[in-house]
Structure 1
């Protein structure tokens, strides 16, 4: 099943945002 490019982009951006948020939380606790 092909993924809609727009959906793929949203997932990609969401993944990056989650990683950035995780990094920020990790730094806050270190």
Structure 2
């Protein structure tokens, strides 16, 4: 899943800001954005 790995990098910053540490939530946030 290259898309997930690539999305995980920029999402890390958003996750830290939101305080979320779930990979599934990260994908959902990326899709929402």
**Is the TM-score greater than 0.5?**
no
TM-score of the superposition, structure 2-length normalised? 0.33
TM-score under structure 1 length normalisation: 0.35
Larger Rg: 1
Kindly indicate whether structure 1 or structure 2 has the higher relative contact order, using CA contacts under 8 Å at least 6 residues apart.
Answer: 2
